Structure 1
């Protein structure tokens, strides 16, 4: 029988905000004073499907006499990889647990609210809800009809008066990647109602039948309730756009990031409403006449008043954006990646994820030439590797949870595959033989109040473009060079001296790198940028450190970048420092890294030699494989001494181990390490050319250390090596691996599984810097001891083979100094060419077949799932204190 739960004075006090926001003469929602009539003693949870300003799901947990509430825009997900935004809202009374109905238009939260789910819950460990809420880390077990199992709620940062959290599924065996519970079960658990309706919008009148025209004035238009801003006035209201900072991939090592394709075109802001459209460049130039098809398409988005941010691009025959094709008859698109204003609401303070959700709803049925920016899944390294394979300019990294802020900052980063730079044209050299063409452009970048010469651009032109540029620039000739450091320029190819011009025009150029004296190396002309002013052409210098965070939520001060990357990468290419380590017991360690200039592309010899007879893979096939996986392997191997296994005559002939290497090409990085009895020079892979050299040496299997130069005493992870052994079965191995994962999850330690390439599995627990091999080995011993106690019939830590009785041997000593593990993506010397392959835990089931991952199948897998090993390189975990 249901019994009322009396609210305490402290609980009633917490409901003040709830009561202030509602007019209970209008809404049927229960007032703060209404007592709940609930059965049973277990705390309850409910989820309301609420169609208000937008459809979302309200999760409510009974804690301390109230329903603590979070709005989850996309609803809960059974996929642990899907970390959903959850914005904490005001506490609700317990009586709200049975509410369902329509909140009337004009009232707070107007729209249908269905009781989508209800049940009971507890925390892990039990009875800690109040304590975990205060700490901002809730680990709950839900017992409902739709939501079952363990879930995490982690507070990230405040957003105004509302705290932001992340809601995601725990890895407890009930996860279901690919399953959308909100789509599978849209119905109410109370009434069975499936369809919801939001509030009736009364603030604007739409006029879809009016002709579309580009707005060039700021006069206000009439609206039935309140005057609406014209599109141009809207653009003036939102002001300057948000800009990105050029960065290296390491800058994303801290924080949560989302990735998009980086498009190569004109940045544009568009405003539209009631049939009028304004389309402006980043600098405020009107682009409407130049792109009439885009203006018409924006005008067709009737019923909304909005400001959107995007890039106008031209596509090549493979659908890739190419700046040089703009205005040349190629397909043109407006790719939209953000929404700043929507139906009278300024969206710029909202977090990135919520703005993206609003944008997706706005553009749900959009047609050519409009397009929403393409998201890229995975880590920064995975996204950049995909960009290389697809031929994109690069990717954009955008920090999760951040607002849209005008100007340049470090919450939007540009990660480029090919470098390009906007430069001011300060001169040219004419073509020889009196032809009316230019030979090269002379370009500069802005430094303070002066121009700095950046070099000569002699390629990338057609004859037509050379003539057009010569005619354009000849109007602005000056006698003195506008650059202070102007060299004596004489074009060796065209035999003409420089002609200097006023810096009125901007060119975009592709190049390989900057020289030490500030010149562009191998620049190639891509086109003129009419949307940029010469004064905006400053040299872009990529940041390499982790990007700065925003203001701290308590102190308001900027937090300094973390030091995780310090000392973790391979040693500098310009120096050869000595690595000084604390001496471990019973051995003296000394290591010297030797590195020269980057080698030229390594050649291939005897490429037709068959190394894997079963599929017929040759040495050339292995070489190409290492080329393809280099973007994934190099980050994993960087700084790690290697032990090699080589098979020069193929895997059916005898192979050999090779720890030390003495004769290597100039530029290949090695590290010299003093072991207990001898000193050896180990190969260190820190660039793709190193992998190709190893491929040409038929070094098929690479065994890597768990630590990196110059911190060889500090392992990056704990290694759990699971091998079924002579008498074990793969099914037993899967059962043990699953048990190991549960054990680590209980300790809240992230783990990364991979196949060994043969019959076994490796499980790695990434760690923050500072752990010692002694600590790591002790933890591995303790973990394996617990696992053998849980599965005494399957596994043992007994060293004696005679006492193992066919059980799987759990060897924690693989975590000793100098021990190695097979590198991810490394081939193994078996006839069918298997590869050690990183996995998602959802793949570690009895259906797992490691033999499917081979030299021939892995490229397709990488295109599909990306680099699943990258979490092992993001060590931010500490081992528990015992």
Structure 2
């Protein structure tokens, strides 16, 4: 095998013109993946594969793995396979190497014990599996044999732990025989030949076989073999004042009056998500059941759900009532795009090609509740006139040759028949006359500074049922004061927390920023209130100009080159030196990718940096080189960075603050990878406004244990009456954040956080330890309270981590915890799909701020007096400016 091509032997044995196996492809994962494929070739066997050094190290296990430590299974090492092989299921044709049927029997992640490369070379590889069927510790031990053997024999052995089971009691191969992707069994080779089965069998219950199925995606130009992502942010349309003039380059669809819905299909697992990433599968049981008959093994669908009225037109009010009553069986899903299908990423394909494939799939399935959104052979002006006559909301235009991107795009435009948008409900007035419930809703939109501005009211469009429903929901959100900023004194009402959204149509905006002749259309529960701003139609000239720009390169999968999974972000006038320099050899990302990452997340990270001292981690030679931790101004040359008053940290050079996107990008240009912030703001540096627990796992702690620990910490904080917010660390663990009113000094907050850590260790000693240090936390988790001392910092939300794979610290909701694959669930390479969701999982963070008094009393902790000034003593050792330090 050539040293520079570990897949040479793999390719030499296969004719890719005839076999459906992948020739190359796949992406390295920060959490190493493993797969076990059940393979009915000349003899039934199991192929055991571990991701290592950019390929799948592979062993053929004739009898399959056993959970019994006393049973040692022969495992013959075979050629390395490409990473993309991990998702391969299908039939390898007769007279070809490995001819027979293949399913993915198990998959997951693995963690080596010790150096895996050294273990592989020495012939003793120990590791832990976290799969859907296989768990716990295992060993691969090479048997002694002749050195010239081409296929080295090994033994696959289960080690003694909680996941081990005697073979006399349980045989995992017999108990769980089917594919973890489709849920289907492996079709025996002889039976498959008799039936002339296709390369990939359709899921049980599929109707696809009744009609002609489209060509496999691999035969389509632009389709790239890739694993199905866990999340996907939608492409959003830009509001325009008029249609483009080059009408032949655009296609038009109805603008449905419903909810945007993206569906992830992976075998028998079907999950439906709103545009903000909320899982609505449980709210749509009938639709999920229908989608299971669509005949897809792995895909992402994009579309809109509606309820039709008696004339066959979308009725937004009826859709809202369907959810309010729990009767969602009448919902119709109009699908209009197919970003992923059957193991292929289709986003780079032209829109028309994606839609052609989608149309064939939908028509072949013939499901009444899942329909294809057709385009119309008419000009935009004619369609708009027809939409007005029918009372439709408008039309959507899409550039025929455009790729699919997870952001608001000039290649998708929307034209509306009337002014209509979402508004935040900030209050309501009393009813007048015989009317019950309420009089009018008081509405607002957020401005660019994040303030909620009053936009007028809506008092028509309600029926009695809607009024009663609104009254109950608003009463539950009662607030003592208005959330509006700069509210006119003449506006009075009952105030509520700004969480509910109203869809409202209106005649015009006044010069004072109010809406006129408003009509209530319904509540929206699929959008983030913090993102609701006044919609302004963009001039079509700018849209036309934007579409003339060449699309940014998305990388060449065939060449093996990697790039970030989003279009290049705007870095303004910043000149990036050495943009091609690779900063992380694991992912292949470059310095330009680093700067573009921070350009993309700038609107999300800046609120977390605002008014806080920041510490910087610089990596001049990339993550594999030496790292430098810097807190103070000396030796910094970042243009525009704010130097804080030296009185904030006496005896040192000024602390630093990042105030703008330009400064953020300038720091990235100077090789800053990580941004860490204090637990207090510059306005009250002596009194922390948050308390953080960094759940730091010791050696031997699994990801499942870390997730469990987060839930336990959450439960304790809830019992103490403390709010808690969650984020991934991008490194090893999770961060639990408690927002505080700045009432107590550093010593008190730190000591109380230590008391919480000690309580956890005392009550659950097999899970937690209250002492730091690697030796103390072997097999346990240290809730690091030291982050709460004066001068200590924690990595900021949306910051990269200067570690192989470039993980990202991302705010998440507690309901998302079980779906996270690890602390590096998001990386610089896959963050695009999360950006659209943004900080919404931390909605209500500011309003949740509390004092610690009641919690201290509940835990029997005696608080110290609030500090009047910051203590110069450090709560933990911090490297001095310019001193190399591994972070």
Over alpha carbons, which structure has the higher Rg? Answer: 1
TM-score (norm 1): 0.37
TM-score by length of 2: 0.37
